[in-house]
Structure 1
Amino acid sequence: MDVLPYLPPLQALLNGLAATLAGSGYYFVRRGRRQAHRACMIAALAVSTLFMISYLYYHARVGNIPFAGQGWIRPVYFSILATHVVLAALMVPLILITVFRALKGHEYAHRRIARWALPVWLYVSVTGVLIYFLAFHIYAGAPAP
């Protein structure tokens, strides 16, 4: 069975789940529920890791998928895609540093970088879902492999 056609929707699901878990983790920490915060953030990290593995496998096998949208949506799509890609590259070290500081018990340092890492993580996850729907459903060209 070829799994490639199932990977883009799985990746969108994982991105949406990562955003939900990271947002929930923020909600819990703001209410002093540190254990729930920790559980949500560990789950968000695990889901994002699964996404990255799936994403790298898919694009190693398929390559780039051309965007079929024309007109005004084209510059909008590529603007979203460009910011998504740049921030996704920035997100990885931000998250790793944030997690490392939390594990080391450096709460102040953890909070300082988490204030940057969380919005980037949420933006990348949400725009990942948006990019999926734009490229594979709303402006779908050729069917996914």
Structure 2
Amino acid sequence: MENNIETKYNKLITAVSIIIPIAVAALFGVNLRKLGYDVEPLNFLPPIYATINGITAVLLVIAVLAIKNGKRKLHEYLMKTAIACSLTFLLMYVAYHMTSISAVFGDTNHNSILEESERIAIGFERINYLFILITHISLSVIIIPLVLITYVRALAYRFDKHKKLARITFPIWLYVAVTGVVVYVMIAPYYVK
């Protein structure tokens, strides 16, 4: 029975792990305002979804502490809540980028173009920002199947396999959640008002 649960979800996990990044990338490139639609920009969302990333990070740490203290039900609840937070973040992130002009790191005059003078003024800080952003985005793609497989192993009562994979999943997911906040804090001054 346990293997049946894992087998049952394998195709779904594969599909979701492929579809979500492709859909996000495709939707990220679709800006309704640039296409001529009269939509209200959702400029209020970035601090909200950054906060959700922070909450996710806290939930993950508390969930690990809960399971280490033998509180399996609390751990399960916290992990489901962390997954829900990650999904909420994703929906808000896509909604923001579909309705608003994306911020450009270092764009102090908020014209959505990084001019040479701005590039020089921001210096190496831009390299740090891009490194954090690129690792955040790359690992956010990788974390999707890791979270889903780890979760399904728990559903299948394959706790030995669940625990083994969770040791890999946890630090990556935590990094993605924390760097989501860091990316927001770094780019916040450059959001188009």
TM-score (norm 2): 0.69
Q: Does 1:141 align with 2:190?
A: yes
Q: d(CA) in 1 for partners of 2:138 and 2:65?
A: 26
Q: d(CA) in 1 for partners of 2:101 and 2:140?
A: 18
Alignment correspondent of 1:129: 181
1:67 match: secondary structure: coil
Q: Percent identity?
A: 35
Q: d(CA) in 1 for partners of 2:41 and 2:159?
A: 42
Alignment correspondent of 1:49: 87
Number of aligned positions between the proteins: 141
Return structure 1 stretches of 4+ with deviation > 6 angstroms.
none
1:100 match: secondary structure: helix
Shift of 1:111: 0.7
**Structure 1, gaps ≥5 residues long:** none
Q: d(CA) in 1 for partners of 2:78 and 2:71?
A: 11
Aligned counterpart in structure 1 of residue 166 of structure 2, from 114, 117, 122: 114
Larger proportion of helix: 1
Alignment correspondent of 1:34: 72
TM-score (norm 1): 0.91
Q: d(CA) in 2 for partners of 1:63 and 1:95?
A: 31
Q: d(CA) in 1 for partners of 2:129 and 2:140?
A: 16
For the aligned residue pairs, the C-alpha RMSD in angstroms reads 1.6
Change (3 A) 1:142 1:95: closer
**Structure 2, gaps ≥5 residues long:** 1-38, 108-121
User: Rg larger in 1 or in 2?
Assistant: 2
